[in-house]
Structure 1
Amino acid sequence: MTTRARRLAALGALLLLVVAVVATVSAVIDSPWRLPVAVALLAAAVLAMWFAVTRTGARRLLAGLLALIAVVAFVLVSLSSSGLVSILFRVALVLAAVALIRDVVAHHPGLLGSDAPPPRTVPPARHGVLIMNMKSGGGKAERSGLEGHCRARGIDGVVLQPGDDLVDLAESAVNGGADVIGMAGGDGSQALVASVAARRDVAMVVVPAGTRNHLALDLGLDRDDVVGALDAFGEAVEQPMDLAEVNGRVFVNNVSLGLYATIVRSPEYRAAKVDTALGALPAALGPGSTPFDLRFTGPDGEPHLGAHVVQVSNNPYGRTAGARTIRPHLDTGHLGVVALVLDGDRAAGSFMAAIAVNRPERFPGFLAWEPTTFQVDSEGEIDVGLDGEALRMETPLRFTVSPAVLRIRRAAWATSRSPTLRELSLRSTIHVVWQTALGRT
């Protein structure tokens, strides 16, 4: 969405809301008690609709229910003074206004990073190269005809063959003059190409052709639109992104130790990732379970000699379990560390209860903090789940983060799905819409 389009959308949203309020006031102005009630219900409907389209999970369901209740109550209060068509017209104005507000906020360039400047618009790639793993994600790239779409757009497509070294392919592409390099595959492949792009200072495009595509989610991409991601090779927006490392190995999402790393190593994991993970939880956290040999220093400097789970992410996830599927920002310059230490069978039950109410931070053995470096030690090698791939690594594991080393390119439309939108307060929303309507950034 262009600056001019954002401003028109902001002005349109404000105009629709004003018309809806004025029409409501005009219809019920003769009724002293209906006037404040109708206006209050209209405001409640707008607020609930906003939360319904910007939140996820239980919060979205609750907000949607409250929006429906507010709308029904508004209709009932207004029926005695207005016709049904007139009332529904006002409700439609409010729905349209909320949709425009969401687009204005979601496309606002200043909301795509924490303290970083807004992404800059960049011209189309002069020599774009896309490396494609045609078998990743059950063959998503192959099914979408990605190779043919690359040819049609003038992008050099490189198909990953059995035995190929992905890092060597990326290096060869840059040596051949690529100024933008992309990867169509899973997050593990994205990390390898990102390490080359950062080292060689070329921009990178993420094409979500893997299974889970967590990086694409956090970047605001539509994970079901493999071909659409190619738009980033055209005129696009570009912004720096941090990269994390463990013992020199780059990761873009997270490294999991303990329970999850063990699950990833299981033969059944590839075939049924979610079912395997859920099936392993009762045995791993149930009676008699013992912590893994994972030694680290906690956020307050206290030593820990074991843990059931340690996860280190490239930038922190949300603060509660319900938000831990997304990282609102990828440019904080910090790692996100989460550790779970269960002291006995009763503690395991308490933690599962905290998970059930979506409040793991209330459990004393749940630790979460945001360092710039972190270290884990053990007696021998450690099973590691690195961006979903099973590895064994020598200890100690030393984690670091390199701020703003990767130039990431996205199509302008990708910003509309930025997870930052889900973290936005109502006050910030009003500020953004008002400033946009006035033509200010």
Structure 2
Amino acid sequence: MTAGADRCVPPKAVVVMNPRSGGGKPARFRLRELAERTGAQVRVTSADHDAASLARLAAAEGMEVLGVAGGDGTVSAVAAVAADAGLPLVVIPAGTRNHFARDLGMDIRNPASALDALCDGDPARVDLGLIGGRVFVNNVSFGAYADALFEPGYREAKLRTFASIAPEYVKGQHGVEANVDTPEGTIEFPQVLLVSNNPYHIATPHYLGRRFALDTGLLGGIVLKRPTDTPPDLLLHLRATLRQPGIAGRPVPVITWSAPRITVYGAAPHLLAGIDGEPVTLSLPARCEIRPGALQLLLPRNRPGIPHEPKPPRRGS
């Protein structure tokens, strides 16, 4: 945070802070102290008060700006309140991955730099995803990652937990117990299904999983079809996604598309999912929609910015 931001007397602002995010990043970066130094109030989540309830209370009290310091799950919860209340949001990337802040072009290595937006932020509007009445800023995932989120101890040992789930998917023995309609027809029981708030870039390895825009008004869909060859090999097919037209002449099994709505349906009444990294059980059919320009942001003026989207490699290169 810059020295000039000290006691800048921002509009009536509340920063909702999750002290556990990022393994304690708020404390390591002194975010509470620095936020209060600007004149903003800080309200910390607890077992009795989650991020959404604290944000709703701040909105009811007539606050003019909401801030959120935490991971993407915490950001998503406060963003939903900000959008419904018509309040601008300041995102302080204090989580582990901070995908939303990264795709906004923010400096995720220095969370405190985002506090400058409380005093003199650049206004911007971005889209929000919606599924089953819940907002998502990044994505809804079905499959191995969603299953891992429901495992006891996932938060304490993420890699180990995911490693215990992934082999069954890698072998093609597990998949998503649902169907989804794509431009290439209905895909039944895919290995992986991801619906994102604006499309992800997957054409080049360096920027794999980046979003170069958050205001296209479209969802992104990614389906990895269950392989039909023997033995099924998820890793082999993943390597094929960046090699056109595929391995040994076989078609690439990944389907990507953009749409304002994507519906996941099937015979089962419910399906496990991860919404911005939080475990959720969804009723089927689950309809994903986009809310164009639903979220108003205040971004720090000094930030790395969003890189230009690279062109996909030409075939045969």
> What TM-score do you get using the length of structure 1 for normalisation?
0.63
Match of 1:375, as an amino acid?
Answer: T
CA contact under 8 A between 1:132 and 1:157: conserved in structure 2?
yes
Amino acid in structure 2 at the alignment position of 1:220: G
Instruction: Answer whether contact 2:140 2:274 (CA < 8 A) is retained.
Output: yes
Residue in structure 2 matching 1:150, options 22, 27, 35? 35
> 1:288-308 deviations in whole A, cap 9, x for unaligned?
6143311121114x2222111
Task: Name 2:192's counterpart in structure 1.
Answer: 309
Distance 1:273 1:292, change over 3 A: same
Q: Which AA in structure 2 matches 1:303?
A: T
- Paired residue for 2:100, among 215, 231, 243? 215
Name the CA distance, whole Å, in 2 between partners of 1:245 and 1:345: 36
Distance 1:298 1:240 in 2: 28
Q: How big is each residue's C-alpha offset from its partner over 1:381-411, in whole Å with a ceiling of 9 and x where there is no partner?
A: 1010111111111111110001001111111
Partner of 1:239: 124
Shift of 1:279: 5.3
Normalized per residue, the structure richer in strand is 2
Letter in 1 for 2:260: T
**Structure 2 unmatched ranges of 5 or more:** 1-7, 312-317
Q: Offset at 1:149?
A: 1.1
**Letter of the 2:210 counterpart:** I
Deviates more, 1:398-407 or 1:262-271: 262-271
Matched, 1:386 2:269: no
**Distance in 1 between the 2:176 and 2:45 partners?**
37
Contact 1:255/1:384 (8 A) holds in 2: yes
CA shift at 1:281, angstroms? 3.1
Q: Does 1:261 align with 2:109?
A: no
Q: Give the match for residue 334 of structure 1.
A: 218
The structure 1 residue matched to 2:227, chosen from 304, 322, 343, is: 343
User: Who is 1:204 aligned against?
Assistant: 89
Amino acid at match of 1:411: P
**Helix, strand or coil at the partner of 2:89:** strand
Task: Name the SS of the counterpart of 1:343 in structure 2.
Answer: coil
2:4 corresponding residue in structure 1 = none
Q: Distance in 2 between matches of 1:399 and 1:360?
A: 29
Contact 2:9 2:39 in 1 (8 A): no
Residue type of the alignment partner of 2:214: L
Give the corresponding residue for 2:133: 248
Q: In structure 2, which of residues 274, 297, 300 is the aligned counterpart of residue 408 of structure 1?
A: 297
Query: Greater shift after overlay, 161-170 or 231-240?
Result: 161-170
Distance 1:231-1:249 versus aligned 2 partners, 3 A rule: same
1:179 aligns with 2:67: no
Contact 1:243 1:250 in 2 (8 A): yes
Distance in 2, matches of 1:190 and 1:290, equals: 31
- Compare CA radii of gyration and give the structure with the larger one: 1
Kindly indicate whether structure 1 or structure 2 has the higher relative contact order, using CA contacts under 8 Å at least 6 residues apart. 2
Name whichever of 198-207 and 171-180 sits farther off.
Answer: 171-180
1:358 Cα offset (Å): 5.8
**Residue 176 of structure 2: SS of its match in structure 1?**
coil
Equivalent-residue separation in structure 1 for 2:262 and 2:155 (angstroms): 29
| Equivalent AA in structure 1 for residue 262 of structure 2 | F
What is the distance in 2 between the residues matched to 1:204 and 1:280?
A: 36
For residues 266 and 203 of structure 1, the distance between their equivalents in structure 2, rounded to whole angstroms, comes to: 35
Q: Establish whether residue 395 from structure 1 lines up as the match of residue 308 from structure 2.
A: no
Check the 8 A contact 1:289/1:345 in 2, yes or no. no
Is contact 2:144-2:162 (8 Å) kept?
A: no
Name the amino acid aligned to 2:227.
D
Provide the identity percentage. 33
Instruction: Please give the secondary structure, in 1, of the residue aligned with 2:213.
Output: coil
The TM-score normalised by the length of structure 2 is 0.86
- Does residue 325 (structure 1) correspond to residue 209 (structure 2)? The answer is yes
- Residue aligned with 1:262, SS: helix
Q: Distance in 2 between matches of 1:422 and 1:274?
A: 31
Q: Distance in 1 between matches of 2:38 and 2:300?
A: 14
Q: 1:297 pairs with 165, 177, 181, which one?
A: 181
Paired with 1:360 and 1:380, the residues of 2 have a C-alpha distance of 37
List runs of 5+ in structure 1 lacking aligned partners. 1-122, 426-441
Cα distance in structure 2, aligned partners of 1:291 and 1:221: 35
> Residues of 1 paired with 2:211 and 2:9: CA distance?
28
Letter in 1 for 2:264: V
Deviation readout 1:337-359 (Å, 9 max, x if unpaired): 0011123353733x523433661
Over residues 157-216 of structure 1, what are the superposed CA-to-partner deviations in whole Å (9 max), with x where a residue is unaligned? Answer: 111122214222112212222211111111111111111111111110111111211111
What is aligned with 1:428? none
Residue 124 to residue 243, structure 1, CA distance change in 2 (3 Å) = farther
Indicate conservation of the 8 Å contact 1:317/1:327, yes or no: yes
What's 2:305 paired with?
417
Find the residue that maps to 1:317 and give its secondary structure.
coil
Tell me the residue number matched to 1:367. 255
Equivalenced residue count is: 297
